Amino acid sequence: MTFTVLIPARLASTRLPDKPLADIAGVPMVVRVAQRVLSIDGTKPRVVVAADSRQIVAACQSHGVDAVLTRADHPSGSDRLAEACALLGLADDEIVVNVQGDEPLIDPALVSAVASLLQNTPEAQMSTAAHAIDSVADFHNPNVVKVVLDAQKMGLYFSRAPIAYPRDAPDRLPHPAPLRHIGIYGYRVGFLRAFPSLSQAPIELTESLEQLRALWHGYHIAVHITDQAPGAGVDTPEDLARVRQHFAALAPVA
């Protein structure tokens, strides 16, 4: 299996300025993400950072990570990915996986699984991942995105609301366990090129979930179920401090 991993990276961040370049044990965070993905066992994917800044491109190149410079005014991450596909000359039938540039603890096996699922599910245009929710608080938390599946493990709906809702026992988790969506996506390149031109869906705007645009227009999203929750991403200074501690603990003792 061959595929390309695209890591979008924007320099602007309201909560954590210059986040992609944040130092983690001497290495910029976006480079840590690329290095993590490159540790996939077996066939190594092509890994490219899609940056909106020459600073990010230079930082990646100085660490031997491939990067392309994309426009700084893209309205969404999918637009940036589509431009990166064009810059790289990827064919419509190729597969790309979108890994966020603020997830230096992402499981490389999860990246490979999302790519493999899409390759083996020809009726799907996208793939993603989910894991079981084991907390009632998470089930009711609007910041935790939930997904329900059909019999073929395709996404039926993604929501910030608790779904499927246990009508007769609202204070308990339903059975089988509800699923938390993990924000990693595989795309067929031809679909990714077309996606930004699709009209925004009413449900997408209501939920603030871009993947609902694909479902609303009749496309299919295959969902890989993993047993493990993903490593924490970096959104705040507290998150960054926690990740720095993780990498510091891995450093060899002199």
Q: Give per-10-residue mean pLDDT for the chain (254 aa).
A: 91 82 94 92 87 95 96 86 95 96 92 96 98 95 96 97 94 94 96 94 96 97 92 86 90 56
Q: Can you give the pLDDT at residue 125?
A: 98
Amino acid symbol at 162: P
**At 118, phi and psi to the nearest 5?**
-70, -40
Which pLDDT score is estimated for 233? 84
Nearest-angstrom CA–CA distance, 156 and 179:
12
The pairing of beta strand 4-9 with beta strand 66-69: unpaired
Closest CA to 29 of 251, 244, 231, 184: 244
Q: Please tell me the predicted confidence (pLDDT) of residue 252.
A: 63
Task: Give the amino acid at 178.
Answer: P
Q: What is the pLDDT of residue 254?
A: 46
How far is residue 113 CA from its own chain's centroid? 13
Residue pair 121/225 in contact (Cβ under 8 Å)? The answer is: no
Which pLDDT does position 131 carry in this prediction? Answer: 96
CA–CA–CA angle 9, 13, 17 (5° rounding): 105
- The rounded radius of gyration (Å) of the Cα atoms in the chain is 18
**pLDDT (0 to 100) of residue 147:** 98
Q: Is the peptide bond before 176 cis (omega within 30 degrees of 0)?
A: yes
How far, in Å, CA of 17 to CA of 240, rounded? 12
CA distance 123 to 106: 27
> Can you give the chain as a three-state secondary structure string?
CCCEEEEEECCCCCCCCCHHHCEECCEEHHHHHHHHHCCCCCCCCEEEEEECCHHHHHHHHHCCCEEEECCCCCCCHHHHHHHHHHHHCCCCCCEEEECCCCCCCCCHHHHHHHHHHHHCCCCCCEEEEEEECCCHHHHHCCCCCEEEECCCCEEEEEECCCCCCCCCCCCCCCCCCCEEEEEEEEEEHHHHHHHHHCCCCHHHHHHCCCHHHHHHCCCCEEEEECCCCCCCCCCCHHHHHHHHHHHHHHCCCC
**pLDDT for the residue 7:** 96
| C-beta atoms surrounding 233 within 10 Å | 17
Q: How many CA atoms lie within 13 A of 15 on its CB side?
A: 8
